[in-house]
Every structure is written in C-alpha cells, then in structure tokens.
Copies of this chain bind each other. A is one copy, B any other.
C-alpha cells in the first residue's frame, strides 16, 4: 500500500510509520487536546493522562480543552444518593472551558474518561453523541477505563480492537457487540484509536502514546519526573486474571 503526503498529513499511526519508512516528513504531532467531561467521571481517567501531558506542554506547544454539558462546574461525585450509602461529602468540582453545544473546532486528540457516571445513570450520554459526531475529524481518540463504553455506544469502536477496565468487563462488553474486545490488555491500539484498561492504566497508555507520537526521550524525562513505574508491554495486565476475565483477542497486535 502506498501513502502519499496527504495520507501522511492525516496523522494516523499506521500512515505515520509508512511516511517515515518512505522518507517523507512524519505528520506533525498533535497540539490540540480535549476531554469529553460529564458528571461523575473518574478524575484519574482524566487527570492521569492530563498531568503527564501537562509536563509535555512545557516542552512542546499543546492546548487543552475541557468540554462539558454547560459551563457550570463538572463534578467528581457519586452519580446518585443510593451509591453514597454512608452520606459522604467527598466531591470536587472542575471548570469546563467549552460546552458540547459550542465545542472547540480544532480538536486533534479526544480523551474519553470512564467512571461511575458512565456506569450508573445517563450523565455520559452527551459525551456519546459528541464522540460519534467528532470522531471523523480527530487525529486520535483515546479512551481510558470505561470510557471505552462511551466510544462503543457511539459506534466508533465497531470492528476495532479495544479494551476496558476488567472489573467492569461484563458491563462494558455488551455496549459494543461489534467491537473486538481484548483481554488481557493494559492498552490496545487500532489505527488511530487507543483504549486503556482501568483508571491508572491511563498512565501506561499515555506514555506509550508519547513514545510513539512525540519522542521517547521526552517521554522518559516525564516518567522520571512523575516517577511512574510503567507497564511497557500492552499484554502486561494482571487485572484480567484478578477479575477472572477469560482471554480474548490478541493483546500484542497493533495496527
């Protein structure tokens, strides 16, 4: 298969490898990030990768957009009082920068977090619609944890390899019957779609993303600064067995 300069500019990773092999300039790494926020998202699904990218933003020009239903704060909180059995008051509020009605028009990388809001209630439905509409314009889609369920509902994972939090496997799989679900897998890559397993696996996904899309040396510097002990093999997923998820798909394959 031949790739020309236009394919290179599309920036998908498969094209990128071929562009390099052909001696063309690789596509410009992405600059413009957005997170698809909703109430009761998991904060580490968002701010794990974002913290790592923040340090990257001191070495490369990067921009961050946080999209939510309204410009009101978006909350880390239980999605309903039933789940807050002990009447805790353990919440935090984050300021969005855009609404889904008026989103930024230059998003290249969209991060889709999971969390209790995805698993209980309908607060993440608005993110499903946004992912469906926006995916064709993206360079990369990154889902963290049960964020894969949102992308599955949006239909953009159909026919693609993907993974999710192994503790929520039985809930998320049925949301994408045409998805090639993979377990064990700390993360998967299929074309321009990257998916990670549970919450803290987002760190491993984002370091792999920086390795592949930006620069391994920069990635290593940030790893040393945040002192993250990386899983460097996508198959290194102890939580598949922990949660008794039967093996399926090929964690090694990446396209």
Cα distance A54–B84 in the bound complex, in angstroms: 10
Contact A51 B43 (CB under 8 A): yes
Q: How far is the CA of A51 from the CA of B54 in the complex (A)?
A: 19
With a CB–CB cut-off of 8 A, which chain B residues contact A242?
Answer: 224
- Chain B residues lying within 8 Å of A51, measured Cβ to Cβ, are 42-44, 76, 199
- Shortest Cβ gap from A251 to chain B (Å): 15
A60 part of interface (Cβ distance < 8 Å): yes
Is A197 a contact of B227 with CB atoms below 8 Å? yes
Contact B224 A199 (CB under 8 A): no
Is A48 part of the contact surface with B, judged by Cβ < 8 Å? yes
Per-residue CB contact flags for chain A residues 226-244 toward chain B (1 = under 8 Å, else 0) read: 1111010000001100110
Answer yes or no: A255 CB below 8 A from chain B CBs.
no
The reply to whether the CB of A83 lies closer than 8 angstroms to some CB of chain B is: yes
- A52: nearest residue on chain B (CB-CB)? B44
Given A58-B78, A200-B228, A226-B200, A50 and B94 contact (CB-CB distance below 8 Å): no
- Scan residues 27-43 of chain A and give those whose CB is less than 8 A from a CB of chain B: 33, 42-43
Query: Are A60 and B76 neighbours in the complex by a CB distance under 8 Å?
Result: no
Q: Is the CB of A62 within 8 A of B43?
A: no
- CB-nearest residue of chain B to A168: B225
Inside 8 A of A47's CB, which chain B residues have their CB? Answer: 43-44, 47, 92
* A83 pairs with B95, CB closer than 8 A: no
> What is the interface of chain A, defined by CB distance below 8 A to chain B?
33, 42-44, 47-48, 50-51, 53-54, 57-64, 66, 73, 76, 78, 83-95, 165-167, 197-201, 203, 224-229, 231, 238-239, 242-243
Interchain residue pairs with CB less than 8 A apart (22):
A43-B50, A43-B51, A44-B44, A50-B76, A57-B84, A57-B90, A59-B86, A61-B88, A62-B86, A62-B88, A63-B89, A64-B90, A73-B95, A95-B95, A166-B227, A167-B225, A199-B228, A200-B226, A200-B228, A201-B227, A224-B242, A224-B243
